[in-house]
Amino acid sequence: MPPRLMIAVHGGVGNTPANLDGCIKAAELGMAKLHAGEDALAGALAAAVALEDDGRFNAGSGSSLRMDGETIEMDASVMDTQGRLGAVAALQRVKNPVLVAREVAETPHWLIVGEGAERFARVMGFPEFYTVTERAKRIHEKVMEALSSEGDYDFQDEWRNFDYKRHWNFKKRWQEVATQHGSSTIGAVAMDANGHFAVANSTGGSSPMLYGRVGDTPIVGCGFYAGVQGAVAATGIGEYIVQHMLCRTVYGWLEAGMPLQEALDHGVALFPKEIDIGLIGVSREGAAASDNRQMPTHVMMN
C-alpha cells in the first residue's frame, strides 16, 4: 500500500551532514502535524519553521549576511494544492519569513517584497527580530576575503570577477567593509491524509549578494511548485535555478508520468557539476531527494 503521510526536508545543498539532526527534528515536527490530522501545508510549515529557528541553516535565524556585513534580507514561499500561494522577498527584521509568506497567501496577492513586506509583517503581528550567528559572520568574512584576494573559495568565476565595488548599492560605503559563502535554502514538501501536497521554502539568499537581490526561493515554478501530482523544492544558486524554472520543469516530468526519483535526478542533471543543486519532492508514490553535493535531508513516510 502506498504511504499515506509523507514529508521530506532539506537543510540546503552544501550544508554539512553534521547538521542532519536538525533536518530529522524538523521532519518529525512536520510529520507530527500530519499525524494530528493537520494538512500538508501545516506539516511543511512546521518543518520549515524548525529549520529557520535552528541557526545552522541559511534561513531565518541562521541567514547569511549581505556584503555590507550587517544587512539580512530573506526570501520565503509556500504553495499547496488547496489553492494557497504566498511569498516574500528581500524581507528584513523578521524571525520566520515563511510564516509571513503563509500570511501573504491569505491576501489577494502572491508576492510582497522589501519594505512593503516588512510593513505587512508588522501589521500581521510579527515583532521586529534581528540576529546574526557566528556562522553567518564567518561565512561573510570568508566571502569578502575571497573577493579581495585570489582566495580558494569556490564561488562561480563570474561572481568572483564581478566588480562589486562599481555596482555597490548599500548605504554603508564600500570602504567601511573590512576584509573582514554560500548559497542555500531550507525546504519541506509534504502530503497529508487527504492527498493534498504542499511546499514551504526559506532562505537568507546567496553570497555574495548586492542589496535587494532576490533568488529563486520566492519565485513560483523556480524554487518551489505544488500541484495535483506532487510538490517540489529546490536549493542552490538562484540565478541558475530560475533559468530552468526548475521546480515547474521537474513537476512537468511528474505530470508526464516520470517516476519521482528519476525526475529529481533529471532536474539536478540539467546543471554542470560545478553548480550546486539539490531537489526534494513528494508524489503519490513517495518522497525523495537528489543533489550533486552534500545536502542534509530527511524523508519520512508512513
15 binds ligand GLY (CB under 6 A): no
**Alpha carbon distance 234, 256 (integer Å):** 20
> Using the rule CB under 6 A, which residue among 208, 221, 236, 281 binds ligand GLY?
236
User: By C-alpha distance, which of 188, 197, 192 is closest to 5?
Assistant: 192
Which of 71, 81, 107, 185 is catalytic? The answer is: 185
Least distance to ligand GLY, CB of residue 201, Å: 9
Query: Residue 278 is placed in which grid cell?
Result: 539539490
Residue carrying the nine cell digits 500561494: 85
Residue 41 has phi, psi (to 5 degrees) of -65, -40
Least distance to ligand GLY, CB of residue 291, Å: 13
Identify the DSSP state of 126. P
237 binds ligand GLY (CB under 6 A): yes
> Using the rule CB under 6 A, which residue among 61, 64, 217, 229 binds ligand GLY?
217
Residue 98 has phi, psi (to 5 degrees) of -65, -30
238 binds ligand GLY (CB under 6 A): yes
Q: Which is nearer to ligand GLY, 74 or 263 (CB)?
A: 74
218 binds ligand GLY (CB under 6 A): no
Binding positions for ligand GLY, 176-205, rule CB under 6 A: 183, 185, 203, 205
- Residue nearest ligand GLY by beta-carbon distance: 215
Q: Which is nearer to ligand GLY, 205 or 296 (CB)?
A: 205
Sign of CA dihedral 222, 223, 225, 231: positive
Binding positions for ligand GLY, 128-187, rule CB under 6 A: 183, 185
User: By C-alpha distance, which of 136, 116, 166, 155 is closest to 57?
Assistant: 136
Q: Which is nearer to ligand GLY, 120 or 240 (CB)?
A: 240
Look up 217 and say whether it is catalytic.
Answer: no
**Alpha carbon distance 45, 42 (integer Å):** 5
Count interface residues toward ligand GLY (CB under 6 A): 12
| Residues 213 and 65 sit within 8 Å (Cβ to Cβ) | no
**Helix residue ranges, H only, 181-243:** 238-241
What residues line the site for ligand GLY (CB under 6 A)? 183, 185, 203, 205-206, 215-217, 235-238
List active site positions.
185
